[in-house]
Structure 1
């Protein structure tokens, strides 16, 4: 359902430490409810100089996105591999969130967030058992079956960028004013995703009545998410083999001397701007010496005014304060054995400047 007039009130916050500054702003827009959530923790782990940032785009209600925004970074921090192997810690934590949401303790919190009939019915059932102590059977609970959220999170650890993504929110790095995507939009028509979906017995459909958007069985339009248990219940298949998986892609890169900022945003932003357009937009405002919070709000104002700006919108900017100096050129070293007096020495070469290197994590 869409509103005829958008809700343009913005929730904005910002912060900084000695290494970086950030701001985030969110807007309900034309949607009937706000289903996005986010989290920023500048000092998640002091010993490893780790900061955490996350954007969670909910669907079917706000329960799962709010739950993940509250708990995912805490679960990540507690993981045994967090200090020495953040890639594995991210992968396991994403999967852990699905298991955590299947517990009745999580159910009580999720139903308080509400957002759809499932949670309202569960809340009523819980309430009834309090007044019927003789009825010892608890109401059935299978986890969030019809709602979920995408999750795109960033760890800044020293001079390393680590991005974990499940869904179609996106992280983009500006390096020397050029945009570099640090995540993949996981849609059902991505070749590897389609193969997994069809191997699980589901199909990828495109229907004109639903906007010609690739969907799983004419339903959900993403192939990775947290929650959405109705797509994760096929017996005999592991969590990585289900039609929808919570397993994230993890990409890592280095903060080099030409790294300027990150844009972390839900698809409500990327529906309206390309990666490079977003980088150009931010760069123009930064040149005017305005705050990151002001820029985030300007992005929302711009996007909600475009024809495609119909979704909830959340955008987060992370600006690097200190980046390493570029490496010096190598010295003018003659070849082994020296050179004859009548030969010119080899010309000095200039080292290639550092760039953000991506390494996709190996699957479990």
Structure 2
């Protein structure tokens, strides 16, 4: 029979966890406010946490006037970064935010590029979520879009160029890693905008969603091993899909397609699913993000939250904050692209103030419900010592133990 002092200890501990979660959300908001939009042409982001400099530069290897918009100097000890960009004509703007969260290391990378080719404006957006290490995701950030634009049929047959470039980049990465003992892998969710024609390609479980007249439309489908078509493909190649906490290829990898992952390459391919979309004024927002966002926030909620913000950078920051507050324990990175600033559908929406208030109240209610549920679970199921207590609610610690980090990487 448990004594009263035990219950008192557990209840106090649960209350302490909730307070830490609230304090973490406040700290995140403070660090977020300290990030300033830099009106530079190129925003230099150092994804490894060392100080990066903001500079303007173009790609001298071609006459395309390539501009890279990839990040700001990191703040808050290198755990988060955000920034924004707007085209010269004001017809396109984007914001990005990247947060290490509860992970001890950052394995998310992203890339944003824009240029003119044959008189056409070309914009490229990409999210790369590494697992087992960061090398594969970093390699994609540094090479994928450059290789794509160098493809001889990039402008004439963009879909073919994307498919071939994905496969070749995977092969090139594996070749570059042949002397390394690790087995890094990465997702890739990319959006290529050529004029008004959008190509969305996906490998893995990062995701791209677009809003049309206020409604969320998924432009990619997560590559999970238990998907009927993916399971059939894997088993036809001699592989096996089994349950190990979640569905995994060979009981190891929780996604069925990825770059890298040499040991599973026969089954885990880097062949992208590609969707095409001709854009009109009905399309308002494009959101690309790693699964640190999608695991805890639905497609519809992501679009609603993003639409409640005037600027895409503010929307990206709000999505990161929401995912963290809802219990995401993963790295979280997202890019929000505002497609039609003067879309007629905007006038049909409630005012920004009303929408913001309604959305944020709803989010706060949901987060509070999650915290209360976590507290109840804490009282019912945690071990008898306070030092063993652990909660799914974020406590604001950006550094986890080595064992937790290894476990997190293996879960991908």
Q: Does 1:259 align with 2:283?
A: yes
- Rate the CA distance shift 1:198–1:27 in 2: closer, same or farther, 3 A: same
State how far apart, in whole Å, the 1-side matches of 2:115 and 2:96 are.
Answer: 17
State how far apart, in whole Å, the 1-side matches of 2:335 and 2:239 are.
Answer: 35
Counterpart contact for 1:143–1:229, Cα < 8 Å: no
Q: Normalising by structure 1, report the TM-score.
A: 0.70
State how far apart, in whole Å, the 1-side matches of 2:314 and 2:193 are.
Answer: 23
- Rate the CA distance shift 1:310–1:320 in 2: closer, same or farther, 3 A: same
Counterpart contact for 2:174–2:262, Cα < 8 Å: no
- Rate the CA distance shift 1:30–1:175 in 2: closer, same or farther, 3 A: same
> How many angstroms does 1:10 deviate by?
1.9
Q: Does 1:39 align with 2:121?
A: no
Residue in 2 that maps onto 1:10: 80
Q: Kindly provide the CA deviation profile for residues 158-204 of structure 1, in whole angstroms up to 9, marking residues without a partner as x.
A: 11110011011111001111000001100001111101111121111
State how far apart, in whole Å, the 2-side matches of 1:71 and 1:203 are.
Answer: 32
Residue in 2 that maps onto 1:333: none
Q: Does 1:53 align with 2:90?
A: no
Moved over 4 A (4+): 4-8, 142-145, 322-326
Q: Does 1:195 align with 2:225?
A: no
> How many angstroms does 1:146 deviate by?
1.5
Counterpart contact for 1:56–1:149, Cα < 8 Å: yes
> How many angstroms does 1:44 deviate by?
6.3
- Rate the CA distance shift 1:142–1:98 in 2: closer, same or farther, 3 A: farther
- Rate the CA distance shift 1:255–1:64 in 2: closer, same or farther, 3 A: same
Residue in 1 that maps onto 2:139: 67
Q: Does 1:315 align with 2:334?
A: yes
- Count of paired positions: 270
Q: Does 1:293 align with 2:313?
A: yes
Counterpart contact for 2:285–2:337, Cα < 8 Å: yes
> How many angstroms does 1:80 deviate by?
1.1
Counterpart contact for 1:255–1:324, Cα < 8 Å: no
- Rate the CA distance shift 1:300–1:190 in 2: closer, same or farther, 3 A: same
Counterpart contact for 2:137–2:186, Cα < 8 Å: yes
- Rate the CA distance shift 1:102–1:284 in 2: closer, same or farther, 3 A: closer
Decide which of 207, 213, 232 is 1:176's aligned counterpart. Answer: 213
Q: Does 1:28 align with 2:61?
A: no
State how far apart, in whole Å, the 1-side matches of 2:144 and 2:344 are.
Answer: 34
> How many angstroms does 1:98 deviate by?
1.5
Residue in 1 that maps onto 2:271: 247
Decide which of 183, 197, 200 is 1:163's aligned counterpart. Answer: 200
State how far apart, in whole Å, the 2-side matches of 1:76 and 1:173 are.
Answer: 23
> How many angstroms does 1:284 deviate by?
1.9
Q: Kindly provide the CA deviation profile for residues 117-137 of structure 1, in whole angstroms up to 9, marking residues without a partner as x.
A: xxxxxxxxxxxxxxxxxxxxx
Counterpart contact for 2:305–2:318, Cα < 8 Å: no
Aligned-CA RMSD value: 2.2
Counterpart contact for 2:211–2:285, Cα < 8 Å: yes
Runs (5+) with no aligned partner, structure 2: 1-19, 29-78, 346-412
> How many angstroms does 1:81 deviate by?
1.1
Q: Normalising by structure 2, report the TM-score.
A: 0.62
Residue in 2 that maps onto 1:270: 294
State how far apart, in whole Å, the 1-side matches of 2:218 and 2:181 are.
Answer: 30
Counterpart contact for 2:148–2:154, Cα < 8 Å: yes
Residue in 1 that maps onto 2:256: 223
Residue in 2 that maps onto 1:306: 326
State how far apart, in whole Å, the 2-side matches of 1:279 and 1:22 are.
Answer: 14
Runs (5+) with no aligned partner, structure 1: 108-140, 233-241, 327-364
- Rate the CA distance shift 1:225–1:42 in 2: closer, same or farther, 3 A: same
State how far apart, in whole Å, the 1-side matches of 2:306 and 2:150 are.
Answer: 35
**What SS does the corresponding residue of 1:194 show, helix, strand or coil?**
helix
State how far apart, in whole Å, the 2-side matches of 1:144 and 1:157 are.
Answer: 39
Structure with the higher helix share, 1 or 2: 2
Counterpart contact for 1:102–1:144, Cα < 8 Å: no
Q: Kindly provide the CA deviation profile for residues 317-358 of structure 1, in whole angstroms up to 9, marking residues without a partner as x.
A: 0011368999xxxxxxxxxxxxxxxxxxxxxxxxxxxxxxxx
Q: Kindly provide the CA deviation profile for residues 18-71 of structure 1, in whole angstroms up to 9, marking residues without a partner as x.
A: 331001100000111000000001226463321100000000111110110011
